[in-house]
């Protein structure tokens, strides 16, 4: 799941853009944040990015193709560990994915 999120962050960021990974634990919850400062996701696509074969798939900055499966698989993995994933994005400023997993999982 992290490989996919980091790969996507790099795919939609310029070479000079930062990609950040933050790990935290608060009580029984581990939070993992993958943040980029790249293209961002258009607001009308956000509700669809976790759908299987999503039409929200886009070509990366270097021509990388999308199957529309990656984020749906990421969500399935996280949910199978009783976790949650959310996204916030601003076009032209970047995207942040937040994963929250219970320590007990």
List residues bridging with 36 in a β-sheet.
19
CATH number of 33's domain: 3.30.565.10
Using CA atoms in the order 63, 42, 14, 54, what is the torsion angle rounded to 10 degrees?
A: -40
Supply 92's token pair. Answer: 């032209």
Q: Give the domain range for residue 78.
A: 2-102
Under the banding of pLDDT at 50, 70 and 90, the label for residue 60 is low
Q: Which of 88, 57, 94, 89 minimizes the C-alpha distance to 73?
A: 57
pLDDT at 29 over 80: yes
φ/ψ of 101, rounded to 5, equals -125, 140
Q: In the chain, how many domains are there? A: 1
pLDDT at 36 over 90: yes
Report the pLDDT averaged over residues 52-76: 72
pLDDT at 37 over 70: yes
Under the banding of pLDDT at 50, 70 and 90, the label for residue 12 is confident
């Amino acid at each position: 799941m992290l490989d996919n999120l980091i790969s996507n962050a790099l795919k939609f960021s310029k070479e000079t853009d930062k990609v950040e990974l933050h790990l935290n634990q608060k009580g029984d919850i581990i939070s993992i944040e993958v943040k980029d400062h790249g293209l961002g996701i258009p607001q009308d696509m956000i509700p669809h990015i976790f759908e299987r074969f999503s039409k929200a798939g886009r070509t990366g900055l270097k021509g990388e193709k999308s199957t529309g499966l990656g984020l749906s698989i990421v969500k399935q993995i996280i949910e199978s560990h009783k976790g949650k994933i959310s996204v916030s994005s601003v076009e032209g400023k970047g995207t942040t994915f937040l994963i929250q997993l219970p320590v007990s999982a």
